[in-house]
């Protein structure tokens, strides 16, 4: 997988103090699940709003003033520039503080950071997206990017799962992709309820039943560690090589820019060398953690 050149992104960082966030305003909040919200936001500075660019897979450090910072991937697509989005699962200090903010509230955002999904490498290939829970957030940015440039890619399979129907994120996207005749959308849950008419089963099991061909294909995987642990072997059984599997890693971060050493995994910094990696790059490191 080619390494992404990130030098051109420096112009969007505050040059005098790289840790100083840009001020942004929350414009819309979508309740995805009882624990996950999507925030639509825009920079206050009009020039920055127009000039800001990012690529699918990149992340930013979001600050709630007086509370702290947390890392979120940008879940919207650069092909849809009206606003930016991230989806947030409430787990701790910053995410709970965000949950108390409403539309119109100001937050800080610094980034974009990290590499991105290798669009050049993906072009002309069959794409297999495999996601679980809020793991669809970074893939969603890429999926919309691919759909908005549909003629550059071949077949698209999406296998997405959550624990229960209530835990499915981005239901409006699942509906849109399900209605798109050029996309094979498969949604599954671990446990259905009385209204659930779709598939029931764990993501790796359903993926093997869908059985996408590995020929000229790349699988892009993101989800909870337990899903990842069983998905890579499932893809290997389907004939995918480690070079044909891509994932985006989450590792606790502080600076986000390769300075503090908080996010290392083996000899890699997830913030600087990732968060997007091929399985070939990380399989020796992640087997103990994932």
Ligand X SMILES: Cc1cc2nc3c(=O)[nH]c(=O)nc-3n(C[C@H](O)[C@H](O)[C@H](O)COP(=O)(O)OP(=O)(O)OC[C@H]3O[C@@H](n4cnc5c(N)ncnc54)[C@H](O)[C@@H]3O)c2cc1C
- Residues in contact with ligand FES by the rule CB under 6 A: 253-256, 258-263, 269, 271
Per partner kind, with CB cut-offs from 5 to 8 A, the member of ligand X, ligand FES, none near residue 259 is ligand FES
Cis, bond preceding 275 (omega within 30 deg of 0):
yes
> Nearer Cβ to ligand FES, position 132 or 275?
275
Q: Which is nearer to ligand X, 187 or 248 (CB)?
A: 248
Residue 254 found at the interface with ligand X (CB under 6 A): no
Q: Is the dihedral of CA 274, 244, 142, 140 positive or negative?
A: negative
Least Å distance, CB 138 to ligand FES, is 17
- In whole angstroms, what is the distance from residue 16 CA to residue 125 CA? 42
* Alpha-carbon span 60 to 22, nearest angstrom: 11
Residue 217 interaction partner, one of ligand FES, ligand X, none, beta carbon < 5-8 Å per kind = none
Query: Distance between CA 74 and CA 86 in Å, rounded?
Result: 5
Minimum CB–partner distance for residue 9 and ligand X (Å):
15
**131 or 206: CB nearest ligand X:** 131
Using DSSP bridges, classify how beta strands 217-222 and 199-200 pair: parallel, antiparallel or unpaired.
Answer: unpaired
Query: Hey, which residues between 129 and 188 contact ligand X (CB under 6 A)?
Result: 134, 137
Residue 70 binds ligand X, judged by CB under 6 A: yes
**Contacted by 256, from ligand X, ligand FES, none: CB < 5 to 8 Å by type:** ligand FES
Asked whether position 91 contacts ligand X by CB under 6 A, the answer is: yes
Rounded Cα distance between 82 and 60, Å, is 18
Establish if 222 lies at the interface with ligand X (CB under 6 A). no
Q: Of 94 and 235, which has the nearer Cβ to ligand X?
A: 94
Compare residues 70 and 158 and give the one whose CB is closer to ligand X.
Answer: 70
Q: CB nearer to ligand X: give 137 or 206.
A: 137
* Residue 100 is a binding residue for ligand X (CB under 6 A): no
Residues lying near ligand X in the complex (CB under 6 A) are found at 59, 68, 70-73, 86-89, 91-95, 134, 137, 250-253, 275
């Amino acid at each position: 997988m080619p390494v992404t050149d990130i030098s051109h992104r420096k112009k969007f960082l505050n040059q005098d103090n790289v840790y100083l966030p840009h001020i942004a305003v929350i414009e819309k909040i979508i309740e995805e699940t009882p624990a996950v919200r999507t925030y639509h936001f825009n920079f206050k500075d009009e020039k920055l709003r127009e000039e800001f660019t990012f690529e699918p897979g990149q992340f930013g450090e979001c600050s709630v003033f007086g509370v702290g910072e947390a890392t979120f991937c940008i879940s919207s697509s650069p092909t849809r520039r009206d606003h930016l989005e991230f989806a947030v699962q409430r787990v701790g200090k910053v995410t709970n503080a965000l949950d108390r903010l409403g539309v119109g509230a100001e937050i800080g955002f610094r980034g974009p950071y990290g590499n991105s999904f290798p669009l050049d490498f993906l072009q002309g290939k069959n794409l297999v997206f495999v996601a679980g829970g809020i793991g669809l957030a970074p893939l969603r940015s890429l999926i919309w990017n691919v759909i908005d440039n549909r003629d550059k890619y071949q077949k698209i399979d999406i296998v997405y799962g959550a624990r229960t129907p209530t835990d499915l994120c981005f239901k409006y996207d699942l509906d849109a992709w399900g209605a798109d005749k050029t996309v094979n959308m498969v949604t599954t849950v671990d446990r259905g309820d009385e209204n659930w008419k779709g598939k029931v089963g764990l993501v790796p099991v359903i993926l093997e039943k869908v059985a996408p061909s590995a020929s000229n294909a790349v699988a892009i995987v993101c989800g909870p560690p337990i899903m990842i642990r069983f998905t890579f072997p499932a893809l290997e059984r389907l004939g995918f090589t480690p070079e044909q599997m891509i994932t985006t890693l989450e590792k606790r971060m502080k600076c986000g820019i390769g300075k503090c050493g908080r996010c290392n995994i083996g000899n890699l910094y997830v913030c600087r060398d990732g968060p997007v990696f091929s399985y070939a790059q990380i399989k020796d490191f992640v087997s103990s953690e994932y």
